Amino acid sequence: MAKSIAQEFTKGLWQEIPPFRLVLGLCPTLAVTKTVENGIGMGVATTFVLVFSNILVAALRKLIPSKVRIACFIIIIATFVTVVELLMQAYAYGLFMKLGIFIPLIVVNCIVLGRAEAFASKNGIVASTADGLGIGIGFTLSLAALAAVRELLGSGSLTIWGDLSFQVMGPSFKPFTFMIQAPGAFICLGLMLCLMNLVGSK
């Protein structure tokens, strides 16, 4: 049975939320979630690419030959990644420098290419927009949640944007700096995946 537009949107917020359900896009998830700012920035950039690449793939799906569809999808995705890069350099240069190589690597993010291949190439523009927006917001929430846990335990504070930072823990708190290092990202992600599976099984 075909899903409604609302269902296509909301599935990305829980049922197919990356990286906790689909377990996709783990490279940026682990690499950029030292602060909430980085997590939200990466999520918004990916959402932009997801939505607009889905729209264009859906619009051109009957014109793209099946034998070269993956190459065409990558070209479409790379175009919007370039737009994101230029916009971030112009309006959020500090965040752009923090995210570094992971912005251009959105081109090969399996979430973006996966939605183009599995959904946008088979559905209309409205449904593909809802799918991309839902998956993108779900990805952003995932990164923000993981970053919040890591930053809170690792430094006792939450950095929302630029200099906007809040010291949450009291002066007696001893930061667990392991959490903002690479091994801490794996452990935190594993524990959150476990929690999601436990909640989802109820």
pLDDT one digit per residue (tens) for the chain, 202 residues? 457 888 889 888 888 888 888 788 888 888 888 889 999 999 999 999 999 999 999 999 999 999 999 999 999 999 999 999 999 999 999 999 989 889 999 998 889 999 999 999 999 999 999 999 999 999 999 999 999 999 888 888 888 877 777 777 777 778 888 888 888 888 888 888 888 878 766 5
Residues near 128 by beta carbon (within 8 Å), at least 6 away in sequence: 54, 55, 57, 58, 119, 120
Q: The tokens of 180 are what?
A: 């903002």
Residues near 151 by beta carbon (within 8 Å), at least 6 away in sequence: 34, 35, 36, 157, 158, 159, 179, 180
pLDDT recorded at residue 1: 40
- Does an H or E element contain 124, and which? none
DSSP 101: G
The boundaries of the domain holding residue 153 are 5-201
pLDDT recorded at residue 166: 76
Would you call 117 exposed, middle or buried from its count of C-beta atoms within 10 A (0-12, 13-18, 19+)? middle
Provide the CB-side half-sphere exposure for 21 (13 A, CA): 16
Q: How far apart are CA 112 and CA 33, in angstroms?
A: 19
Q: How many domains does the chain have?
A: 1
Q: How far apart are CA 37 and CA 29, in angstroms?
A: 13
Torsion sign (Cα): 55, 81, 22, 42 = negative
pLDDT recorded at residue 81: 96
Q: How far apart are CA 41 and CA 137, in angstroms?
A: 12
pLDDT recorded at residue 24: 81
Whole-model pTM? 0.89
